Amino acid sequence: MSNDIVLVIVVATALLFDFTNGFHDTANVVATSISTRAMPPRLAVLFAALLNFAGAFISIKVAATVAKGIVDAGAVTPTVVFAGLVGAIAWNLITWWYGLPSSSSHALIGGMIGATLAAAGASAVSADGVFGKVVIPALVAPTVAFLTAAVSILLAYRIIGRLRPGPVSNGFRIGQVASGGLLALAHGTNDAQKTMGVITLALIANGNLPEGANPPTWVIVSAAAAIALGTYSGGWRIIRTMGMRIIKMDPAQGFAAQGAGAAVILASSHFGYPLSTTHVISGGVMGAGAAKRVSAVRWGVAGNMVTAWILTLPAAGGIGAAVYGITRLFGTGATGPIVVAILILVGLTVIFVRRVQRGSPITAEART
């Protein structure tokens, strides 16, 4: 009974994380389309939400690899998963508050690592797995997106160079609707699977599914719905950073950045790499800007983002470990997760009430 209560809390927390993932990473999908005026903000997030939902059904390869080879499955209990998720949610909310496009994927992996370390010690975490499946892709993915977008925009400028800018910009704006759609689909494919993977991990840990099982249909549908709802809610603070504060984009650059991002995410989804869509799109945006003029990129903003990326794993891990420690203060039963879940709900309610009282500082309408 106690285990089932913890499992229900874990599933609810995983779906909350998925919501914050969509909400936090909306910027990755829509920021370039909004900043170049390819689409109105509300329509852009609705479009992205629908394609995020559809994308979640395309593949479950990343779901199978999200924590595999990084933490010892034998050490993972539902309470460990819960603590890891809380670490990830907390880091997502902190970075959202400061408008920093950090990685939800790394927050999730960091949270899981921290909670596992606290629960079972260092031997339960594979340094090789962290290096090979997290650190290397984190270095390679944004670099490849940067190079792809940079080469793409240089070729595009060469091809369209002497043509009248009006029709060319309109053409790229139309193209951005398609490339933005592809990006949203890729985002749903890659990111919704992480939540599916975590819920499946908890179900396996609780004995509801056999080892190595694929996510059940209800897990796929609920994860798809949660990320789509989060995306529709729109994280306007991060959209502003991604769409306007890194570079001032023209439609061709927006198209090149989105095309590069979608290509990298789809390719890595094909090979089962759980990479960060945030890192990829940020790399694409910077590449599209730097290829035109290196000084066009606001490197100070980019530096803040990279700092947040570096901090993500240890910060989410630290919170995950602390949350696991707090739950253990109440013993090994369901009391600890229940207390922490209540505290989270109270915290979210306070944030929501304060935001309603102050009025939303950054909205779709107040984006420019």
Report yes or no: 173 and 44 within 8 Å, Cβ to Cβ. no
Residues making contact with another protein (CB under 8 A) = 58-59, 61, 128, 131-132, 136-137, 140, 144-145, 147-149, 151-153, 155-156, 159-160, 163-164, 167-168, 171-172, 175, 178-179, 182, 185-186, 189, 252, 255-256, 259-260, 262-264, 266-273
DSSP-assigned states of every residue in 90-110: HHHHHHHHTT----HHHHHHH
Structure tokens at 137: 């892709």
Q: 71 in helix, strand or coil? A: strand
Calculate the CA 148 to chain-centre distance. Answer: 21
- CA-CA distances (angstroms) from residue 216 to 105, 204, 220, 223, 269? 21, 11, 7, 11, 19
* Whole-angstrom distance, CA of residue 218 vs CA of residue 237: 32
* Whole-angstrom distance, CA of residue 319 vs CA of residue 343: 14
Q: 125 in helix, strand or coil? A: strand
Minimum CB distance to another protein smaller for 50 or for 94: 50
Burial, 263: exposed, middle or buried (Cβ in 10 Å; 0-12, 13-18, 19+)?
A: buried
Provide, rounded to whole angstroms, the least separation between the CB of residue 340 and another protein.
34
Cβ atoms within 10 Å of 175's Cβ, excluding its own: 18
* Whole-angstrom distance, CA of residue 215 vs CA of residue 210: 11
Structure tokens at 20: 């914050």
- Phi and psi at residue 306, to the nearest 5°: -65, -35
Half-sphere exposure of 175 (CA within 13 A, CB side): 17
Fill in the amino acid letter for 331.
Answer: G
Using the structure block, give the residue that is written with the tokens 């193209």: 175
The strand pairing partners of 74, in sequence order, are none
* Whole-angstrom distance, CA of residue 353 vs CA of residue 147: 44
Cβ atoms within 10 Å of 40's Cβ, excluding its own: 12
* Whole-angstrom distance, CA of residue 107 vs CA of residue 308: 11
